Chain A
């Protein structure tokens, strides 16, 4: 199987190389009008087919590696390093991305899969797809070169003697979410290659109009969704496995996933300006270029060891390859842009500071400022070492002070953007649209103070968390009211005309303009996530060595130690405590935090016990044994509102899913509900924002 896998990778490289060369020659001939021995159309078609075939070859290689994991083929060094016989089958499958070589193979496989879909759907625009396919082939060649030369997944163990058993998978990665978190993240990273390829291709061929944006809209949204889900699965995993009581540690590798998400989000907003008003063309092109380059930078950060990270398991010298590739992409993008920038002249100018366009502009600016802050914080240690000769740490306190205000400002823009009209908004309209959300925000701002949200602590301590949470809750109320009001106003009109209930009218409204109302639902989800994060300022913790019947109070809960013990099995030794949780005198639940030490590599792993409600999480970890008494040390956290982060993610997924669905046509809707269709046609899907 290793031979088959290696051969498949070589074939995939050859096919992608052919796709790149033949595609480039054909496109050059088509551009200049010079024809060779083979007609450029035929040459381009052979290139496309080679690209499709490269997907099957890469899939064979990925299959070979998974097969080696399932059959415990420890003659393959990668499998010996990342799997063992006792590993459950799901984690054996995850072995594909649990190490450097495998995850690069996954990159190459996903890229070829995206390329396969793109090339199979070439009839949507043959010439533009040919450009995009050739650019994707160039990226494929890079990754296939990596897995063929620098990080080969099918290398045999030194000496050729297969060990009896492998080293096993890192216990921290033996968690169900780890089976889907990396592929989701990679689908996000890799997926941005498609809109990037279309944007670069459209610029190279001076493609008229905005069709490339229409073609890539769904690609970009799906990719953005994958990245979002990947990031949040990582957060959920960190929260439930790492056992430090939090979900986001501002680690460089976490930051690396956030940066393309921020620029991708900016791109999703600003393309609407280009679609509707022919504006911000250069900006959009550079946004998608940056998003793709930041995706590569993310992979580089994970690999190179440039910055210290808790994800240091994947460091290696292949970082140099990524640097070269990154510089190459930047050079190509810059050259293409300079050469063709007159093609990107804007068709309209902004007419008013108080308009939907300017809200998008400011939203983009703030998203980019957030991205820059994360980039700056991530690389400042390197800069500091260069300038001062010593590395500094840039962690949570920096981001809490610098990035959080930017995030709050972004939440504010999320609220006001949809209330503004395109081109220009009158003061009368502003007053009318802002009154209700403003009043609700004010009421919430006052109502949360007796609940313990005391914003004035920013003046009396150097803790600004409560202040930002207070603003967040008020702004969240503002945005939610604005969104609900939009739904209500639209649904009321439909309800009046069709006689449907308000809820049915809202569903109808959403189906008629999925993009607009799906977008609102995404905003709704993001607001819930902000609310969940806002609760972080009120986290409490308590640590105590506990004997039988010992107890402590944390917030409304009393935690009592019922028992503690230890156990052992073939996979790990475990120590655990049995805790009863009471609220007042009422028994709530039983929690059993654990500490496991895995037999295969002696690595400890915390098993968190979490009692989660919509109001707060009681999060308990077994922190070890008190050496003097042998009694367990229990650390408990009371984390308010965390559940809303995960609920917000589900709402965001729902909203994105709705936005991806085509609009129900007006005529169909009218037929179903016997409503008169207006005489003038309204372009489906264009009314959305």
Chain B
């Protein structure tokens, strides 16, 4: 059943991908990349959101971004070019290079480790205590009503 679902899903994903492939047009790329860059004037704002009146940098940087997109550069090439020109603080988030990989990996890794650790811990606890009898609930109405009656103190 699971295998069937996987195979049924695959053509759907391919069709949808092909249909929407052209969606990433120039304006969308401009918006997307503009949100991945920082204005370097010191306002600490995302490049495309910089509304610093008289900002000496954002207009120029946005024009460079527009030119790079029109030139047909890839997203990665554009981000790398901005990083090389303005330094690593021009990127709104570190790229997946060298030590910066750590920034992306540590939080999800810790969450997974935490979930796994909790699961192990609960299993160990369960082994220590006698298995609690699972409360078999009878028909919905009586038992549920009783529980609600108790909880609501009627």
Given A376-B106, A459-B16, verify A493-B89 contact (CB < 8 Å): no
CB of B77 within 8 Å of the partner chain:
no
Decide if B150 touches A402 in the complex (CB within 8 Å): no
**B36 contacts which chain A residues (CB < 8 A)?**
397
**B44 contacts which chain A residues (CB < 8 A)?**
251, 308-310
Q: Which of B7-26 contact A (CB under 8 A)?
A: 13, 16-17, 20-21, 23-24
Stretch at the interface among A75-83, A329-337, A350-358, A582-590: A350-358
Q: On chain B, which size bracket covers the interface? A: 35 or more
Report how far A172 CA is from B93 CA in the complex, Å. Answer: 27
Q: Which of A532-560 contact B (CB under 8 A)?
A: 541
Report how far A245 CA is from B34 CA in the complex, Å. Answer: 14
CB of A243 within 8 Å of the partner chain:
yes
Given A350-B126, A391-B89, A424-B135, verify A621-B17 contact (CB < 8 Å): no
Q: Which residue of B lies closest to A351 (CB)?
A: B132
**Interchain nearest-CB distance for A425 vs B (Å):** 8
For the residues of B in contact with A, the DSSP-based class is: helix
Q: Which residue of A lies closest to B18 (CB)?
A: A460
Stretch at the interface among A509-517, A610-618, A644-652: A509-517
Decide if B118 touches A365 in the complex (CB within 8 Å): yes
Q: Which of B114-154 contact A (CB under 8 A)?
A: 114-115, 118-119, 121-123, 125-126, 128-129, 131-137, 140, 144-145, 148-154
Q: Which residue of B lies closest to A426 (CB)?
A: B134
Report how far A212 CA is from B123 CA in the complex, Å. Answer: 30
**Interchain nearest-CB distance for B141 vs A (Å):** 10
Decide if A424 touches B151 in the complex (CB within 8 Å): no
CB of A32 within 8 Å of the partner chain:
no
Besides A401-B104, A460-B17, 18 new A-B residue pairs in contact (Cβ under 8 A), listed by A number: A351-B132, A365-B111, A373-B107, A380-B103, A384-B94, A392-B100, A393-B38, A393-B93, A395-B38, A397-B93, A398-B94, A425-B134, A456-B16, A460-B16, A460-B24, A461-B28, A493-B145, A512-B153
CB of A657 within 8 Å of the partner chain:
no
CB of A687 within 8 Å of the partner chain:
yes
Report how far A348 CA is from B128 CA in the complex, Å. Answer: 11
CB of A53 within 8 Å of the partner chain:
no
Decide if A406 touches B99 in the complex (CB within 8 Å): no
Q: Which of A596-611 contact B (CB under 8 A)?
A: 604, 606
Report how far A393 CA is from B43 CA in the complex, Å. Answer: 13
Report how far A425 CA is from B133 CA in the complex, Å. Answer: 10
Decide if B49 touches A246 in the complex (CB within 8 Å): yes
Q: Which residue of B lies closest to A395 (CB)?
A: B92
**B154 contacts which chain A residues (CB < 8 A)?**
493-494, 497-498, 512, 666, 669-670, 675, 678
Query: Can you list the 10 inter-chain pairs with the closest CB atoms, starting with the nearest?
Result: A349-B125, A666-B153, A398-B93, A397-B93, A369-B111, A351-B132, A604-B53, A373-B107, A244-B49, A395-B92
Decide if B107 touches A402 in the complex (CB within 8 Å): yes
Report how far A513 CA is from B151 CA in the complex, Å. Answer: 8
**A352 contacts which chain B residues (CB < 8 A)?**
122, 126, 132, 134
Decide if B32 touches A462 in the complex (CB within 8 Å): yes
**A456 contacts which chain B residues (CB < 8 A)?**
13, 16-17, 20
Report how far A622 CA is from B74 CA in the complex, Å. Answer: 33
Given A350-B122, A365-B118, A493-B152, verify A245-B49 contact (CB < 8 Å): yes
Q: Which residue of A lies closest to B75 (CB)?
A: A462
Report how far A459 CA is from B123 CA in the complex, Å. Answer: 37
Decide if A350 touches B125 in the complex (CB within 8 Å): yes
B residues apposed to A, CB below 8 Å: 13, 16-17, 20-21, 23-24, 28, 31-32, 35-36, 38, 43-46, 49-51, 53-54, 75, 87-94, 98-100, 103-104, 106-108, 110-111, 114-115, 118-119, 121-123, 125-126, 128-129, 131-137, 140, 144-145, 148-154
Decide if A353 touches B94 in the complex (CB within 8 Å): no
Against B, the Cβ 8 Å flags (1 = close, 0 = not) of A394-407 are: 11111001110110
CB of A684 within 8 Å of the partner chain:
yes
Report how far A361 CA is from B122 CA in the complex, Å. Answer: 10
Decide if B35 touches A244 in the complex (CB within 8 Å): no
Partner of A687, one of B93, B131, B151: B151
Q: Which of A383-422 contact B (CB under 8 A)?
A: 384, 387-388, 390-398, 401-403, 405-406, 421
Decide if B99 touches A387 in the complex (CB within 8 Å): yes
Q: Which of A492-525 contact B (CB under 8 A)?
A: 493-494, 497-498, 509, 512-513, 516
CB of A296 within 8 Å of the partner chain:
no
Decide if A384 touches B136 in the complex (CB within 8 Å): no
**B145 contacts which chain A residues (CB < 8 A)?**
493
**A493 contacts which chain B residues (CB < 8 A)?**
145, 148-149, 152, 154
**B148 contacts which chain A residues (CB < 8 A)?**
489-490, 493
Decide if A423 touches B122 in the complex (CB within 8 Å): no
Report how far A120 CA is from B131 CA in the complex, Å. Answer: 48
Report how far A308 CA is from B115 CA in the complex, Å. Answer: 33
Given A309-B44, A423-B132, A426-B134, verify A376-B107 contact (CB < 8 Å): yes
**B137 contacts which chain A residues (CB < 8 A)?**
426, 428-429, 432
